[in-house]
Structures are given as structure tokens and as C-alpha cells.
Amino acid sequence: MQIAVAGKGGGGKTTFAALAIRELVAAGSGPVLAVDADANANLGEVLGLAFQETIADILAEMADDRRSRPGGMSKADYLNFRLHQALTEGPEVDLLVMGGPEGPGCYCYANNLLRQFIEQKARDYPVLVLDNEAGLEHLSRRTTRQVDILVVVSDATVRGIRSAGRIYQLATRLDLGIRRSCLVVNRVREGTLLELEAEIGQTGLELAGCLPFDPAVETWDRQGKPLVQLPDDAPAVAAVREIVKRIVPKN
């Protein structure tokens, strides 16, 4: 099972990705491979996993030090070896982080590596959750392809919903082999959803559910606490639990 999470910046996609991973593990669906494909990497922070290096770090190392590759090992084999080393392992969640671009063309190359590595590693995990960079570029780079579920996360605004619709339209136009696409609306206050109903309908996306505005999420973010450690009865946690039950097939 491969789940990709997308959305505009600040919409809450990383919050959703982390809480969805939490629920998948709690439901016994793990181990989970969590992939942070955002140059502004913070999935590890909300998961409580501290990573040591990123794909971008590895590329920079190889570019700066040609002697770093052992003799007799091809560049492709060494990259594969180093990518395995870059995995941060947890009890039920392993994390791989893309990192930021280190030079001209580096990020495109990192995307290509990430895509190939994901396709390889996906066979080793029951569930893979991919937290994409904000916006549309990951679609045109085809980092998000052949996934079972695309979850587009939006804040509770007209602009956010329209942005979600554009993400879905581009994914459809590029024919990425996505099997199911759905919308999650974040930070919803009482009465907001009714105001957005028409806009949501125009996206073409299935509405999988909503996350209510949850002061605990803001507090934990402000204090730098991992969101996966929120109480079970926190409104955002309970909402994600129901969404995961709705969109993820039972074993």
C-alpha cells in the first residue's frame, strides 16, 4: 500500500501524514516506510525521528569527494548502498529524507534517485507514506506515481480548495497511475465546511474527511513536540483515525 500526501504550503499535509502513519501503526499495518520528499524537511520532527543525513547530503558528498566510492564499486551500486545507510530506523517506522538542493540540477537528480529507490523499497514494507513537497512540481517530476491513494490536504479556505483541485487535475492529466484520489480539509471550524461545499464539489476529488481546528496541534507545534505523541482523544487524532479507516482497505 502506497499513500502519497500533497497540498499547498501551510495546508497541513505533514500533520496529516504523521498522524496517518501513527494510526496505520496502531492498526497493525506497519512497519511503515515514511518518505519526506519536501526540501523543507520536517516529517522527522513530527514523527519524533532524528535523521542523520539526506539524499541531498549523499549527492553532495559524492560530488565533493570522488575518492569516497570504494574501488571496484560502480557509482550506481555505491549510491544504492548509501541510500540504505540514510534510512533512519524506528520500532515501526523507518524514515528516508530527500533534503534540499545542493547545486544546479541536484534536486532533479535526487528526485530521480528517490523515485527509483521508492519503487525498490516499497516491496519491503506493507505501507509506504510519501510526504511530498508543497505545490505541483512533484507531479511533473513524477515522484508521485503508481500510488494506491493520493491524499490532497487543504486548509479550510477557497484558495486552498482550488489549489487542491489543480493538483488533482494535473495528476489526472499526467496519467500517473494513481488508483484513488481524495481530499482532506484541515483546520475546519464550525460552519466552515458548508461555506466551502460548492468549491469542494468543483475539485472532482472525493472528500475523505476533515480535521477540526485543534489547539493542541498548534501548541505541540509551537513547543516542538512530535505530533504522533498527541493524546488519543485529541480532535485531530480522532479525525485522522476515521479518515484512515475510510480510505485504507482492511487487510
pLDDT at 48: 94
pLDDT at 158: 96
pLDDT at 146: 77
Which segments in the chain show pLDDT lower than 50?
105
Asked whether 31 and 92 are in contact (CB, 8 A), the reply is: yes
pLDDT at 69: 65
This prediction has a pTM of 0.89
Q: Mind listing the domains of the chain with CATH numbers?
A: 2-247 (3.40.50.300)
pLDDT at 110: 59
Asked whether 68 and 59 are in contact (CB, 8 A), the reply is: no
pLDDT at 245: 95
pLDDT at 135: 60
What tens digit of pLDDT does each residue of 58-107 get? 877 777 655 566 666 777 777 778 888 889 999 999 999 988 765 554 55
pLDDT at 38: 82
Count Cα neighbours of 197 within 13 Å in the Cβ-side half-sphere.
Answer: 3
Strands (E), the chain: 2-6, 32-37, 88-89, 93-97, 127-132, 149-155, 180-188, 206-212
pLDDT at 102: 52
